């Protein structure tokens, strides 16, 4: 098995997840075996009340497949053992699957709110204890969903801005190439027509100017920070590419 990378190891430490965490949930996992199907029936019933969620499933088979996969996720993956490389790979496949069906993280997290509520029914018999735990779970998950939505929104806006600026740059570069083309044609004509030395030198000067403009723009693209507006540049040290690189690191 692949060595779990440092970032994932650190994540487990930050969440304070250790063998004892899994151990402590063993009896719960055993009890869950008998209950998970009922919980997931309730889960899809609840989720499918929302048109936004219904649209994600192509047909009834898709709901069944998602249910079977989710059952495996809880029993055979998340609660089965210390999260390892295989777990993180699966988590990333699950994210890909939900991305494919267009599910946003906020809705995905809302799903956890429902499941956690039902899990608390199995764990806490005393309603006076359970009610605040369930309420707290709901609010904390809402908080996570809201912040994640903002993170992703900010990243998306940056990406859109980058695309807009690189498209504008490409259009400008194409214009400069057309200009170069036109000038070199002009020079050929002047050579054919035996134009004066001064006329040809003026065309060559124009050609050099266009090359210089193109070179400058290419250099700006390479160093990237000229791509962002002065206002945005002031906020960052290394321009839009730098911001995006930092965000996706």
29 vs 15, 75, 76, 170, CA distance in Å? 20, 7, 10, 56
Closest to ligand HEM by CB, 116 vs 207, is 116
Residues 57-86 that bind ligand HEM (CB under 6 A): 57, 62, 65-66, 69-70, 73
Report the residue count for the chain: 249
Identify the H or E element spanning 216: helix 197-223
CB of 2 to ligand HEM, least distance (A): 19
Pick from 4, 12, 25, 53 the residue near ligand HEM by CB under 6 A: 53
Site membership for ligand HEM, residue 32 (CB under 6 A): no
DSSP 79: T
Please work out, in degrees rounded to the nearest 5, the angle formed at the alpha carbon of residue 245 by the alpha carbons of 240 and 247: 95
Q: How far apart are CA 98 and CA 91, in angstroms?
A: 11
221 and 232 Cβ atoms separated by less than 8 Å: no
Whichever of 142 and 180 has its CB closer to ligand HEM, that residue is 142
Nearer to ligand HEM, 96 or 127 (CB): 96
Of 103 and 162, nearer to ligand HEM (C-beta) is 103
Size of the site for ligand HEM (CB under 6 A): 21
Binding mask 89-128 for ligand HEM (x = CB under 6 A): ----xx--xx--x-x---xx--xx--x-------------
Q: Where are the beta strands (DSSP E) in 82-198?
A: none
Spatial separation of the C-alpha atoms in residues 174 and 165, rounded to whole Å: 14
Q: How far apart are CA 151 and CA 158, in angstroms?
A: 11
Please state the closest distance from residue 29 (CB atom) to ligand HEM, in A.
Answer: 15
- Nearest-approach distance from CB 93 to ligand HEM, in angstroms: 4
Other CB atoms within 10 Å distance of the CB of residue 140: 12
Q: Which is nearer to ligand HEM, 144 or 187 (CB)?
A: 144
Q: Where on the chain is the footprint of ligand HEM (CB under 6 A)?
A: 47, 53, 56-57, 62, 65-66, 69-70, 73, 93-94, 97-98, 101, 103, 107-108, 111-112, 115
């Amino acid at each position: 098995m692949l060595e779990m990378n440092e970032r994932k190891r650190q994540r487990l430490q930050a969440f304070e997840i250790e063998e004892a965490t899994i151990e402590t949930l063993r009896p719960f996992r055993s009890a869950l075996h008998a209950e998970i199907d009922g919980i997931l029936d309730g889960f899809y019933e609840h989720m499918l009340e929302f048109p936004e969620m219904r649209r994600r499933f192509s047909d009834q088979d898709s709901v069944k497949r998602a249910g079977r996969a989710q059952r495996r996720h809880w029993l055979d993956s998340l609660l089965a053992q210390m999260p390892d490389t295989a777990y993180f790979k699966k988590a990333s496949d699950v994210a890909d699957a939900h991305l494919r069906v267009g599910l946003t993280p906020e809705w995905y997290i809302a799903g956890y709110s429902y499941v956690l509520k039902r899990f608390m029914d199995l764990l806490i018999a005393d309603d006076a204890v359970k009610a605040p735990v369930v309420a707290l779970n709901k609010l904390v998950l809402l908080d996570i969903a809201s912040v994640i939505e903002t993170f992703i929104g900010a990243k998306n806006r940056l990406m859109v801005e980058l695309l807009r600026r690189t498209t504008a740059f490409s259009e400008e570069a194409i214009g400069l190439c057309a200009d170069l083309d036109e000038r070199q044609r002009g020079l050929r004509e002047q050579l054919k027509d035996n134009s004066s030395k001064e006329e040809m030198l003026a065309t060559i000067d124009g050609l050099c100017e266009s090359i210089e403009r193109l070179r400058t723009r290419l250099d700006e693209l390479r160093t990237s920070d000229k791509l962002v507006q002065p206002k945005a540049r002031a906020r960052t040290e290394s321009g839009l590419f730098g911001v995006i690189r930092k965000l996706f690191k």
